[in-house]
């Protein structure tokens, strides 16, 4: 089946309805053998050093791949660097289809964007709705996993992150992914109980490092809420697919996002929030608003290079955990 | 006797707390310290305690912290987070419980709000060393003066706009060429540090500010902070040992518990 690259979560139903496979480039980049090497490769090609590492990783992922010739790029609601990413990839002969989430969450504009995407892939509403039913069955399992994360004490922050973040493309095979989710949930009772006293929330884009969750758990603090990753699972149980992507908070303004964050802080009884922002990202500015609007302690983390926490960030995590205790 | 070790980026500081509560303080160059007294064992740093002046020390009476803590675990000792060590040390040294801590070290700047002896909130510098001791050392070298001389000046500062410690040197050389006297150039350098830490200080402001770390010996910077944000600035004796002293105090407290 033909692969279609995506720069972040888009209505995956449309790609699956076309009999194609969405591939979240972020996941390919960050799970590759040497993500930092991919960042450097983009820099050699001419990407500036003071630009987000994700964008550079995405660029190299597509350039290196021999089977991703079409890309759906989110031009509004994610990152304006994506515009230049699209253009540099277009220069290399990749077919780029733009998709824009309307800033004000306007229903009609969003519907129009989805229809344009459907037109590009030659699919109908009926086909798309059928795919939504298929994907919702998988999503329900992931919702269950997320619920067990904060209600129980056997699911690590990393597992919660990984299964949810995978819902942007369902790893290219929803049924296989669902099976993996089932196996994980069935084996849960045998997993050791995690004795972590502090309950943390993680908000912002998924981390570019892979050792943060373990590092926190070793220090007695567990992430029981991953904001954006959870949003990727469309946890709304809404039958209307346009409404589903309107409720999806990540691509819209910070105030709308924070409504969701506040609800979850209360529901999951969080002791503190880690706000992660990528170096050079406009979301670093929004940290001002996050700090003002949330009434639990907030640690702002800045991540630049993949793949491990640096000494300074570890020092800051230590101090934050110590402070909450 | 209890010992606190602060594995800093420029110096390793050791505070030995005697039974009468007084301290013996020692300082080593970080790189020489690791070379002379350290060796790695199973990924952890083992220090030759006798060589480092800690011959009769029981390991459980040693607490360590510092930048090295992240990359190097001092084997057998208890490690505590750096900001906690500095807060504990500052509470002990200043003898007050409500204040804003400003700690400027070799590569780090930290600001913490302390309420009733406990850390309430903290901020650290972003990914840049332009507000730290290393920056001052570089700039003093450009001006061909020592750190003591640099710390004398705070009046009529030249305006240095560069946000980067390295490009700052080029800018400073430009000001030298323009013919500004050393006093104004040095004041400009000191002001640059203040400008970098100002947002953190304002965010976590209290009526009293305890200033620690090696940079606290810069009297000009103390004056600038006092003047610019109208707070009482307290620089305790031996401000660069606050982290090590905080560790020794923690070792004592742990032993009592």
Residue B78: which domain range?
A: 2-83+242-256
**Are A20 and A89 contained in the same domain?**
yes
Among A66-75, A268-277, B55-64, name the one with the lowest average pLDDT: B55-64
**Are A149 and A107 contained in the same domain?**
no
Q: Quick one: average pLDDT of A116-139?
A: 98
The H or E element containing residue B120 is strand B118-124
| pLDDT for residue B38 | 81
Q: In this complex, is the C-beta atom of B103 within 8 Å of any C-beta atom belonging to chain A?
A: no
Total domains in the fold of chain B: 1
Total domains in the fold of chain A: 2
A125, A155, A190 — which closes off a domain?
A125
Nearest to A52 by CA among A306, A275, A230: A306
Residue range B112-123, pLDDT digits in tens = 999 999 999 999
Q: In this complex, is the C-beta atom of B167 within 8 Å of any C-beta atom belonging to chain A?
A: no
Nearest to B197 by CA among B135, B253, B120: B135
- The answer to whether position B111 is within a domain reads no
CATH number where A265 lies: 3.40.50.11900
Which residue's structure tokens are 């780090």?
B108
Q: What span, in angstroms and rounded, lies between the C-alpha atoms of B13 and B145?
A: 25
Average pLDDT, chain A: 96
pLDDT greater at residue B39 or residue A119: A119
Residues of A in contact with B115 (CB under 8 A): none
Spatial strand order in the sheet of B232-234: B118-124, B109-115, B99-104, B208-212, B232-234
- The answer to whether position B79 is within a domain reads yes
What ipTM score was computed for the predicted complex, to two decimals?
Answer: 0.72
**Are A144 and A35 contained in the same domain?**
no
| pLDDT for residue B39 | 79
Instruction: Quote the Cα angle for A31-A36-A42, to 5°.
Output: 110
Q: Quick one: average pLDDT of A103-127?
A: 97
Which residue is closest to B125 within chain A, CA to CA? A312
CATH number where B69 lies: 3.30.420.40
A95, A125, A155 — which closes off a domain?
A125
Q: Quick one: average pLDDT of A5-11?
A: 97
Q: In this complex, is the C-beta atom of B163 within 8 Å of any C-beta atom belonging to chain A?
A: no
**Are A172 and A311 contained in the same domain?**
yes
| pLDDT for residue A76 | 94
Q: In this complex, is the C-beta atom of B120 within 8 Å of any C-beta atom belonging to chain A?
A: yes
| pLDDT for residue B127 | 67
**Are A283 and A150 contained in the same domain?**
yes
- Check CB contact under 8 Å for A315 and B82: yes
Q: In this complex, is the C-beta atom of B73 within 8 Å of any C-beta atom belonging to chain A?
A: no
Band (pLDDT 50/70/90 cuts) for residue B47 is confident
Residues of A in contact with B127 (CB under 8 A): 279, 302, 304, 312
Nearest to B152 by CA among B103, B189, B177: B189
A109, A125, A141 — which closes off a domain?
A125
**Are A74 and A201 contained in the same domain?**
no
Q: Quick one: average pLDDT of A150-171?
A: 98
Nearest to B233 by CA among B208, B196, B205: B208
**Are A106 and A88 contained in the same domain?**
yes
Q: Quick one: average pLDDT of B147-157?
A: 95
Q: What span, in angstroms and rounded, lies between the C-alpha atoms of A218 and A211?
A: 11
Residue A51: which domain range?
A: 3-125
Residue A134 has pLDDT above 90, yes or no: yes
**Are A213 and A312 contained in the same domain?**
yes
């Amino acid at each position: 089946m033909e692969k279609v690259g995506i720069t972040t979560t888009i209505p995956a139903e449309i790609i699956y309805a076309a009999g194609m496979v969405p591939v979240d480039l972020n996941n390919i980049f960050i799970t590759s053998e040497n993500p930092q090497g991919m960042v450097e490769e983009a820099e050699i090609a001419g990407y500036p050093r003071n630009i987000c590492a994700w964008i550079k990783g995405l660029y190299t992922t597509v350039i290196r791949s021999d089977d991703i010739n079409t890309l759906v790029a989110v031009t509004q609601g994610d990152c304006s660097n994506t515009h230049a990413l699209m253009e540099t990839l277009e220069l290399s002969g990749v077919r780029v289809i733009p998709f824009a989430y309307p800033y004000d969450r306007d229903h009609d504009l969003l519907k129009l964007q989805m229809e344009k995407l459907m037109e590009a892939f030659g699919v109908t509403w009926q086909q798309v709705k059928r795919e939504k039913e298929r994907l919702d069955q998988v999503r329900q399992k992931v919702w269950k996993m997320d619920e067990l994360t904060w209600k129980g004490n056997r699911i690590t922050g990393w597992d919660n992150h990984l299964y949810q973040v995978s819902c942007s493309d369902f790893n290219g095979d929803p049924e296989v992914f669902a099976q993996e989710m089932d196996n994980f949930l069935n084996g849960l009772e045998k997993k050791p109980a995690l004795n972590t006293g502090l309950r943390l929330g993680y908000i912002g884009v998924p981390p570019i490092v892979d050792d943060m969750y373990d590092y926190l758990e070793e220090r007695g603090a567990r992430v029981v809420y991953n904001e954006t990753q959870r949003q990727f699972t469309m946890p709304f149980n809404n039958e209307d697919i346009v409404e589903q992507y309107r409720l999806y908070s990540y691509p819209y303004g910070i105030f709308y996002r924070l409504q969701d964050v506040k609800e979850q802080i209360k529901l999951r009884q969080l002791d503190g929030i880690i706000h992660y922002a990528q170096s050079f990202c406009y979301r670093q500015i929004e940290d001002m608003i996050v700090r003002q609007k949330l009434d639990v302690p907030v640690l702002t983390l800045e991540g630049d290079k993949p793949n491990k926490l640096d000494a300074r960030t570890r020092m800051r995590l230590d101090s934050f955990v110590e402070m909450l205790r | 006797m209890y010992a606190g070790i602060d594995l800093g980026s420029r110096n390793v500081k050791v505070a030995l707390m005697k039974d009468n509560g007084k301290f013996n303080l020692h300082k080593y160059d970080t790189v020489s310290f690791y070379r002379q007294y350290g060796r790695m064992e199973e990924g952890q740093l083992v220090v030759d305690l006798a060589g480092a002046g800690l011959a009769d020390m029981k390991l459980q009476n040693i607490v360590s912290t510092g930048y090295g803590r992240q990359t190097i675990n001092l084997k057998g000792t208890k490690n505590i987070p750096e900001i906690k060590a500095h807060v504990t040390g500052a509470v002990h040294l200043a003898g007050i419980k409500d204040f804003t801590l400003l700690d400027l070290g070799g590569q780090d700047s930290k600001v913490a709000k302390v309420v009733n002896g406990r850390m309430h909130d903290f901020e650290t510098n972003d990914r840049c060393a332009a507000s730290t001791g290393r920056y001052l050392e570089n700039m003093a070298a450009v001006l061909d003066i020592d750190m003591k001389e640099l710390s004398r000046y705070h009046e009529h500062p030249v305006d240095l706009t560069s946000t980067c410690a390295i490009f700052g040197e080029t800018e400073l050389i430009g000001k030298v060429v323009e013919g500004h006297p050393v006093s104004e150039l040095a004041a400009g350098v000191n002001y640059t540090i203040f400008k970098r830490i100002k947002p953190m200080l304002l965010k976590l402001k209290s009526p009293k500010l305890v200033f620690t770390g090696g940079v606290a010996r810069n009297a000009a910077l103390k004056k600038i902070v006092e003047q610019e944000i109208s707070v009482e600035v307290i620089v305790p004796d031996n401000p660069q040992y606050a982290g090590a002293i905080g560790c020794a105090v923690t070792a004592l407290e742990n032993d009592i518990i």
